[in-house]
Structure 1
Amino acid sequence: MDLGLAGAAALVTGGNRGIGRATAAALVREGARVVLLARDAASLAATAAEIGAAGHVVADTTDDVAVVGAVDEAARLLGGLDVLVNCAAPRADRSAPSGLAGLDDADFLRHLDTKALGYLRTARAAVPYLRQRGGAIVNISGMNARSTGNIAGSVRNIAVVALSKNLADELGPAGIAVSCIHPGLTVTERTEGDADYAATAARNSLGRPVTAAEVADVVAFLASPRGRVANGAVVTADGGRPGGVWT
């Protein structure tokens, strides 16, 4: 299937590692011109060279001034923007204390500031460019949005769902589709070869771990003109969590 992404201008935050990196690589393979955004200039440059990205920009998404400057530079490098994929977020810590007694206020706010408000900052800076010719925003959330056990993880991810639907309703009439995707435990370059992680990640209905490249394929579809009819949708990409029925 031709996704219609050839020549599209895409910005991927958190594009130097994990699902962000895999997504950027998938978009490049579809013919998109991609700029990566993250905080680490060295890893950005290395990743951009490895996957054939058009360039990279450096910003911490908790810094609005830096975000605006980076998005403007990305649009300058690409001659505009058609796609924004938000993936820049602190790594989920499965060993972190999960209840009230272990809740760290500063860490909780860091997760919200980076993942929820950070996504909004990047979207706010990108929307003036996206309005010029329509496009898509895909926000990477996570299955913690649908489970208890980690307060910061649940709240930061359900916040992404809420902001995505708000943006979908607001921006849809301007030709900008906004969707949200829930990966589960996903094998990335960081966890590849970790047998314990793979065994845990395989506890889905498929019975095998899901890879970042597989999640990236779903993101690429949602970002494409063919996937934009899914405006406002929340899509799971975790191999199927046994037992739950979601409406």
Structure 2
Amino acid sequence: MSTPRITALVTGGNNGIGLAVCQLFSAQPNYHCIMGSRSLEKGQKALESIKSSNSSSAISLVQLDITSDDSIASAVEEVKAKHGHLDVLINNAGVCPVDFSRSVLRDCLDTNAISPALVTQAFAPLLLKSSNARIIYVSSALGSIQKRGDPDYMAYDADFKTYRISKAALNMLAACDAWEYKDKIKVFAFCPGYVITDLAGEREAKEKAGIAKTPDGSARGLLAIAEGKRDAENGLFLHDEKLGELYPW
């Protein structure tokens, strides 16, 4: 009798960290990765890229704009029809604006905190059908209130006020969901670290600085959580790949 596949959904899966996660997860035995992408065209290109490098990858695509209630509902119905349940939900999609204004802050909070909350709420019934479900919120150390006041933190002098506020809100969402789904679903906040991506349009600057990591390490850190290697840290703010690597809220 074959082992049931672990079904994992990654929002914002067609680029950056999300793409690295989809590539890694879909290559694992007994995993099926669902790439959530706002653009089906971009998602299809990313899917083909993964398949071209590993034809045996177990991966599929679902249109998912996390800021659209209709898109979320349609994605839930599609996952339900094809898989019947969900084991891992990785809330990865996000934005990192550099400006601060009412409209920018509102949009950032909508994408980085409000939308993940609604995505999780919508997929919760499918997660509750899993015998060992996990919710992972991809956060940032910039959302740590304690580290905001730490002059020894490498990003102490960085502004990113809008982004910091949104990720602090996301961290509270993770803490609330850990309480709400206690003994039913394991919930984690996870900081992928200073990673080379297109977020905030800083890819070139990060590459020149030479201190940013590739998304591959972030993907391995998320896989460790999905595999249960960090279950002892359920409800906490994690980073890196090993047990014991934590950030303060």
- TM-score with structure 2 length normalisation? 0.80
Secondary structure of the structure 2 residue equivalent to 1:186: coil
Contact map agreement 1:141 1:160 (CA 8 A) in 2:
yes
Letter in 2 for 1:230: E
State how many pairs are aligned: 220
Secondary structure of the structure 2 residue equivalent to 1:14: coil
- Inter-partner Cα distance in structure 1 for 2:48 and 2:231: 29
Residues 195 and 121 (structure 1 numbering): CA distance in 2 closer, same or farther, change over 3 Å? closer
Match of 1:214 in 2: 217
1:144-178 deviation digits (Å, cap 9, x = unpaired): 2133622211111111111001101211221x111
Contact map agreement 1:14 1:36 (CA 8 A) in 2:
yes
Contact map agreement 2:11 2:64 (CA 8 A) in 1:
no
1:112-127 pair list within 5 angstroms: 112-127=109-124
- Inter-partner Cα distance in structure 2 for 1:198 and 1:54: 29
Quote the offset at 1:37 in angstroms.
Answer: 1.1
- Inter-partner Cα distance in structure 1 for 2:237 and 2:180: 16
- Inter-partner Cα distance in structure 2 for 1:76 and 1:201: 45
Contact map agreement 2:84 2:126 (CA 8 A) in 1:
no
Match of 1:206 in 2: none
Quote the offset at 1:29 in angstroms.
Answer: 2.0
Quote the offset at 1:20 in angstroms.
Answer: 0.8
Residues 141 and 190 (structure 1 numbering): CA distance in 2 closer, same or farther, change over 3 Å? closer
Match of 1:198 in 2: 207
Secondary structure of the structure 1 residue equivalent to 2:135: strand
- Inter-partner Cα distance in structure 2 for 1:170 and 1:115: 20
- Inter-partner Cα distance in structure 1 for 2:112 and 2:204: 28
Matched, 1:61 2:66: yes
Matched, 1:171 2:181: yes
Secondary structure of the structure 2 residue equivalent to 1:129: helix
Considering only aligned residues, what root-mean-square deviation do their CA atoms show, in Å? 2.5
2:230 to 227, 230, 239: 227
Identity in percent: 23
Residues 219 and 196 (structure 1 numbering): CA distance in 2 closer, same or farther, change over 3 Å? same
Matched, 1:141 2:139: yes
Residues 246 and 118 (structure 1 numbering): CA distance in 2 closer, same or farther, change over 3 Å? closer
Quote the offset at 1:105 in angstroms.
Answer: 1.0
1:79 to 72, 84, 91: 84
Q: Which moved more, 1:179-188 or 1:211-220?
A: 179-188
Letter in 1 for 2:108: H
Flag structure 2 segments of 5+ consecutive residues without an equivalent: 51-56, 149-157, 242-246
- Inter-partner Cα distance in structure 2 for 1:58 and 1:195: 29
Match of 1:161 in 2: 171
Quote the offset at 1:230 in angstroms.
Answer: 2.1
Secondary structure of the structure 1 residue equivalent to 2:13: coil
- TM-score with structure 1 length normalisation? 0.80
Contact map agreement 2:237 2:248 (CA 8 A) in 1:
no
Match of 1:30 in 2: 28
Contact map agreement 2:33 2:58 (CA 8 A) in 1:
yes
Quote the offset at 1:179 in angstroms.
Answer: 0.3
Secondary structure of the structure 2 residue equivalent to 1:11: strand
- Inter-partner Cα distance in structure 2 for 1:190 and 1:115: 13
Residues 224 and 172 (structure 1 numbering): CA distance in 2 closer, same or farther, change over 3 Å? farther
